[in-house]
A = this chain, B = another copy of it.
Amino acid sequence: MIPVTEPYLPPRGRLDYYLDRVYASHRLTNDGPLVRELTRRLEDYLGVTNLLLVANGTLAIQLALATLGVKRGRGLTTPFTFPATSSALSWQGVEPQYADIDPETLNLDPLAADHAVTADTRVILPVHTYGNPCDVERFRALANRIRVPLVYDASHAFGVQLNGQSLLNWGDAATLSLHATKLFHTAEGGGIVFRDSHLLEEARSMINFGLDNGSPVRIGINAKMSEMHAAMGLAVLEAIDEIIDYRMAIQDHYRKRLSGRIELPVFSADASANGAYMPVLCRNAVHRKRVQRHLLANGIESRAYFSPALGSLGLYTKEITGAGVEFADRILCLPIFFGLSTIQVDHICDLVCAIPPTQEPAL
């Protein structure tokens, strides 16, 4: 079976080097030396400041919201995302409020978001889907106009630059997922880039029970990254250029082979890509189901990522949106990971192209 993704495992000796340092320090967590080193190295690599590493990417969103004082009302977000984005809002007491996506970028549409604003809107939480940048200028203008914080879920956007600057530098905060399946990972992990260094310090206290110099000064929880996870991160980071180059080559190969044979999402020309995902757009839900089945029958996993559209679920709110629902029915992510060969990609492309689009109703 070829999985849709596979975590990058650094050479064991590299991980051991960092684990030896954990053993030497006798520190296993609590803002230890490896977490600090990983933070510095990531800030340097990504071109950001005010980075806080945390236990996972969902807690990163929750903490960004809490630090920015968002704890009630509604949060404008996209229905075309992994449930973590909406769940993080809901868990923090903020009701997700869906606006439609732009059919070109598959990201939250700033105009639709603008139209969806209500007096209850307390935050805007767009997602840089597949690492493709949102319309950051228009979201900044909207957030300024309605005076609410702007938080980007940048879980897919590790290393992406927009007009030569890290995409993480847009928004009052931008959050990263460093989960095992992400192109850069710490097994489980997340990060928050804050625009404001004061918020960084607040969040640093908040992930450690609200303590400040050992005394509780605010409501906090535990969202600390351990030294073991930081060790994994440091070992993976040594290979990050190699990983991204590899994934980009695989993505390019896919796109060349599939171009004109199945619809491919358009990525921004102003941004660098990172090869995080390999999404294709089937004709409709029936076509997608047939492609998925055919791939599976040939030992290849694929994933309808993201489907269903969250606004159609009835779990969060019941706002059915047009393009969000349509693209949730059509989207399919093909295998992409470090180690996948171009021969395997050729085989996958042949299988995908063997299934003609259909106009039949859903099975």
Contact = CB atoms under 8 A, between A and B. Distances in A.
* Interface of A, helix, strand, loop or mixed by DSSP: loop
B55 A55 contact: yes
A282 B268 CA distance: 66
B23 A209 contact: no
Interface stretch (A85-93, A142-150, A160-168): A85-93
A91 B26 contact: no
A284 interface: no
Interface residues of A, number: 54
B219 A228 contact: no
A221 B315 contact: no
A75 interface: no
A12 B23 contact: yes
A29 B188 contact: yes
A216 interface: yes
Contacts of A67: none
Interface stretch (A56-64, A123-131, A238-246, A247-255): A56-64
A285 to B, nearest CB: 15
A6 interface: yes
B90 A222 contact: no
Contact of A222 (B12, B30, B56): B56
Interface stretch (A41-49, A110-118, A179-187, A289-297): A179-187
B93 A180 contact: no
Given A87-B210, A216-B315, A310-B216, A222 B58 contact: yes
Interface string A190-234: 000000000000000000011100011111111010111100100
Interface in A77-111: 82-84, 87-88, 90-91, 93
B62 A221 contact: yes
Contact of A179 (B16, B29, B219): B29
24 contacts: A6-B26, A7-B28, A15-B19, A16-B16, A28-B180, A28-B188, A58-B209, A58-B222, A59-B222, A83-B210, A83-B216, A84-B222, A87-B209, A87-B210, A87-B216, A87-B220, A88-B221, A90-B219, A91-B219, A93-B93, A187-B227, A210-B315, A215-B308, A216-B313
